Amino acid sequence: MNLPNKLTMGRIFAIPVFIVVFLMDYRIAAAVIFILAAVTDMLDGHIARKHNLVTNFGKLMDPLADKLLVMSALICMVEVGDVAGWMVVVILGREFIITGMRQVAAAQGIVIAAGTTGKIKTITQMIAIPLLILENWPFTTLGIPVPFDQIFLWIALIMTIVSGAEYIMKNKQLFSM
């Protein structure tokens, strides 16, 4: 197993650790685990492309690991009342739809690459989640009354909807097959 795939698997193995730590209310530790896992998401793809280590395993597991990490964090935050459940349903719904479309496309030999809005969605989620976990720290302790955690959550939600609509519109031919 190459390094990018090991990083992906490390991210998957970090998820249950994150869940336990978060639900035990060790928020700083949970945020650190989440951030480290999110960084591996950036690193594994970069390393795989730069060193020509792209594998079918990585193509399948990297986006799955990303979705599992984000969804686990958001569902845990619904559990403790930090995020509205309907928001997570919208985000999760988009992920199921796009993943399903990618599977249908793959069966037809078509690859649906991540678009810019999808990448922005992921980045805003990866920023929003640690801010939500840390209850808008450091801004609250600095006396900055701007709810950046909520702002990034809403941006992530909007980008979820926009990127989902974009994927559907660009690949609507999949629905007629």
CATH number where 146 lies: 1.20.120.1760
Confidence of residue 177 (pLDDT cuts 50, 70, 90): low
How confident is the model over 87-98, as pLDDT tens digits?
Answer: 999 999 999 999
CA distances from 16 to 69, 118, 146 (A): 9, 25, 31
Cα separation, 125 vs 121, in Å, equals: 6
Q: What 8-state DSSP symbol labels residue 113?
A: P
Q: How many distinct structural domains can be found in the chain?
A: 1
What value does the mean pLDDT take over residues 138-148? 93
Q: Is the peptide bond before 138 cis (omega within 30 degrees of 0)?
A: yes
Label residues 69-84 b or e (16+ Cβ within 10 Å = b).
bbbbbbebbeeeebbe
How confident is the model over 96-129, as pLDDT tens digits?
Answer: 999 889 888 888 888 787 789 998 999 999 999 9
pLDDT for 42: 87
How confident is the model over 154-174, as pLDDT tens digits?
Answer: 999 999 999 999 999 998 888
Domain boundaries, position 64: 3-176
CA distances from 22 to 2, 13, 30, 46, 133 (A): 30, 15, 5, 28, 8
